[in-house]
Amino acid sequence: MHAAPLDVDRIRADFPILGESVDGRPLAYLDSAATSQRPRQVIDAELEFVTRRNAAVHRGAHTLAALATDAFEDARAIVARFVGADEEQLVWTHGATEGLNLIAHSIEDASAQGVERFRLGPGDEIVTTEAEHHANLLPWQWLARRTGATLRHLPVLDDGRLDLDAAAAIIGPRTRLLTFAHVGNVLGIVNPVAELVALAHRHDALVVLDACQSVPHLPVDFPALDVDFAVFSGHKLLGPNAVGGLYGKAELLDALPPFLLGGSMITTVTLETAEFLPAPQRFEAGTQPVSQAVGLAAAAQYLDALDMDAVFAHEAHLGARLLDGLRGLPGIRLLGDADAPRVGLAAFDVEGVHAHDVGQFLDSRGIAVRVGHHCAQPLHRRFGITSTTRASSYVYTTDAEVDRFLEAVAEVRGFFGLGGGAAA
Amino acid sequence: MNGLESLYQELMLDHSKNPVGFGLPEGDPAAGEGQSHQLNPVCGDEITLRLGVTDGKIDGLHWEGHGCVVSQASASMLADLVEEDAPSPDELAELIAKFREALRSRGAIPLDAEVFGDAAALSGVSKFSARVKCAMLGWVAAEDALRQATQAE
């Protein structure tokens, strides 16, 4: 199946911010893995909602409240369908970090209440990987500490792939939960979900998927992947800030107690106790990111219209161009150099030049990249460095921008007095 | 001079390559000495700095660390300044305060070379707000070490 290639020039015309310049140079935005830019269609959808539909959702009987609630729930259906799910399986969150904390806290509560499916205690194991974003590490450190379970980590090979041999040895009868990123936010490699899910489910372990870097860049169907829970963020998906999705299998969401407690998630409340609504509303206490959800639905529709197969083909093409270009430069060390399926993302070290200085140099050329540890200190430590420079693409990224980036990277060592020639 | 060259002046590149005062003495800080470790969690830059006070003067400022040109050059320039001028604890505290004020001024307050020596080359950093923390790292370590050294006196 070959989708028509993306018409990047036409796409770029939808993104007003791409017309900005930096100190007189046209902006080359290569930081979409941190946050993506928004097309007019998303900006307009959010503007339309706040201009004409804004009201509190799921409460109040007036017309505007009903219109707002409809818009909010229509958005849920659209975003759920975008990831292959039913609307009852999609919980709104304020982002993936909240989603992961929700899962960890609710499991801890369920375990304490003796719910067998979520039981965790001494002798049980929670398994994550060396490559995780801190948001998919710290909640599990917390859960292990609270329950007495042991936290284990799947190792990363030198070329950036997960060590599946080690995974087969680590994931076993003691494993109660496995969590990993679908696409690594530093390595950019698409991890083998099917193999890892099969290993975990063989031992009846739950699987949590951090899909922050996959849902924006490739076709993703959570039920087909057979993961038990998954999270993603709107702002990496052409959508607004402070909205995200939590997917869960229906029977698991139904069995899981709520995390945040408060308004809009109850049926009956007395002074002593409360009963809760079914999922997804049980997990949506308090004011929800309503206009953001409407904007995110517009983003999902925008990407649907482009066709996610075409989006992934574009990403794979740019990822290969980035990697090939960087491999050809002296004094560059790539993190995750494997020939594996990947998105348009490359993190690298410039020998002798700190990532912050690399980023500053690129900024002077109008090129926006991310520098630092990218919220993955353990992964950087595993490769013996503290920080890297990361370039990441999206639907609006052109070959010319990637080439401009590569030409600038080639000049970095020379600028800092290390000579642009052969590696020292 | 374009923006980038006003940030990375030749003097800064020299200091980052051949840092002054680099290398901590063996053993724990003695009485009358203070030592501070500072970390910039954004980029992982680290500096550990030790200084002592003898006869009312800063005597011996040493540091170790790793990080970007700005953080490393700035610590080196501070060490150079202290070595040249041997300021009193109060004078050093005032230098650090003035340095911070200039760096946070977004380019409004230049650093006077008469007062700051080579560190005056860091004036350009103040226009790059994301880099002010880098330049401050060693100076914050000195401030903390100075507090310990003078408390211990």
Q: Are strands A150-154 and A125-129 parallel, antiparallel or unpaired?
A: parallel
Look at residue A421 in the predicted model and tell me its pLDDT: 47
The whole-angstrom separation of Cα A307 and Cα A168 is 35
Judge contact between A89 and A229, C-beta under 8 A.
no
A423 pLDDT more than 80: no
Look at residue B6 in the predicted model and tell me its pLDDT: 84
What does the mean pLDDT of chain B come to? 93
> Quick one: average pLDDT of A287-316?
98
Residue of A nearest to B16 (CA): A416
pLDDT class of A424 with cuts at 50, 70, 90 = very low
Look at residue A328 in the predicted model and tell me its pLDDT: 95
pLDDT digits (tens, 9 = 90+) for B93-113: 999 999 999 999 999 999 999
Sheet holding B33-40, edge to edge: B33-40, B45-54, B57-66
Judge contact between A252 and A117, C-beta under 8 A.
yes
What does the mean pLDDT of chain A come to? 96
Q: Could you give the 3-state DSSP secondary structure of residue A268?
A: strand
Residue of A nearest to B133 (CA): A356
Q: Looking only at Cα atoms, what is the longest distance across chain A? A: 74
Look at residue A192 in the predicted model and tell me its pLDDT: 98
The CA-CA-CA angle for residues A179, A183, A186, to 5°, reads: 105
> Quick one: average pLDDT of A105-120?
97
- The pair of structure tokens assigned to A64 is 């505007």
Of 3.40.50.460, 3.90.79.10, 3.90.1010.10, 3.30.390.10, the CATH number of B3-24+35-151 is 3.90.1010.10
* Partner-chain residue, chosen from A354, A371, A380, that has the shortest CB–CB distance to B69: A354
What DSSP letter does each residue of A384-411 carry, written as one string? T-S-EEEEE--TT--HHHHHHHHHHHHH
Residue of B nearest to A361 (CA): B4
pLDDT class of A59 with cuts at 50, 70, 90 = confident
Enumerate the domain spans of chain B. Answer: 3-24+35-151
Look at residue A422 in the predicted model and tell me its pLDDT: 42
Judge contact between A415 and A407, C-beta under 8 A.
no
B4 pLDDT more than 60: yes
Which of the following is catalytic: A274, A375, A410, A418? A375
For residue A357, the chain B residues in CB contact (below 8 A) are 8, 68-70
Give the H or E element holding residue A257. Answer: none
> Quick one: average pLDDT of A125-148?
98
CB contact under 8 A, B7 and A360: yes
pLDDT class of A418 with cuts at 50, 70, 90 = confident
A87 pLDDT more than 50: yes
Mutate to test the interface with A, among B10, B42, B43, B129 (most CBs of A within 10 A): B43
pLDDT class of A29 with cuts at 50, 70, 90 = very high
Percent of chain A with pLDDT over 90: 96
Q: With a cut of 0.95, is the ipTM above it?
A: no
Q: How many residues does chain B have?
A: 153
CB contact under 8 A, A356 and B68: yes
Own/partner pairs, B109-112, CB within 8 angstroms, 24+ separation: none
Q: How far is B69 from chain A (nearest CA, A)?
A: 7
A310 pLDDT more than 80: yes
- The pair of structure tokens assigned to A348 is 């690298």
pLDDT digits (tens, 9 = 90+) for A222-251: 999 999 999 999 999 999 999 999 999 999
pLDDT class of A335 with cuts at 50, 70, 90 = very high
Please indicate whether residue A375 is annotated as part of the active site: yes
> Quick one: average pLDDT of A331-341?
95
Look at residue B41 in the predicted model and tell me its pLDDT: 86
Helices (DSSP H) in A113-205: which residue ranges?
138-147, 164-170, 193-202
The whole-angstrom separation of Cα A240 and Cα A132 is 24
User: Domains (ranges, CATH) in chain A?
Assistant: 8-30+307-416 (3.90.1150.10), 44-304 (3.40.640.10)
The whole-angstrom separation of Cα A23 and Cα A129 is 41
pLDDT class of A61 with cuts at 50, 70, 90 = confident
- The pair of structure tokens assigned to A278 is 């079914």
Judge contact between A30 and A36, C-beta under 8 A.
no
pLDDT digits (tens, 9 = 90+) for A352-402: 999 999 999 999 999 999 999 999 999 999 999 999 999 999 999 999 999
> Quick one: average pLDDT of B8-21?
94
Q: How many CB atoms lie within 10 A of CB A309?
A: 14
Q: How far is B109 from chain A (nearest CA, A)?
A: 22
Judge contact between A335 and A388, C-beta under 8 A.
yes
Look at residue B153 in the predicted model and tell me its pLDDT: 54
> Quick one: average pLDDT of A16-26?
95
> Quick one: average pLDDT of A50-73?
94
B1 pLDDT more than 70: no
Percent of chain A with pLDDT over 70: 98
For residue A367, the chain B residues in CB contact (below 8 A) are none
Look at residue A400 in the predicted model and tell me its pLDDT: 98
Residue of A nearest to B43 (CA): A372
For residue A387, the chain B residues in CB contact (below 8 A) are 43-44
pLDDT digits (tens, 9 = 90+) for A212-230: 999 999 999 999 999 999 9
In the block, tokens 């009193």 appear at B88
The CA-CA-CA angle for residues A313, A230, A49, to 5°, reads: 80
Look at residue A112 in the predicted model and tell me its pLDDT: 97
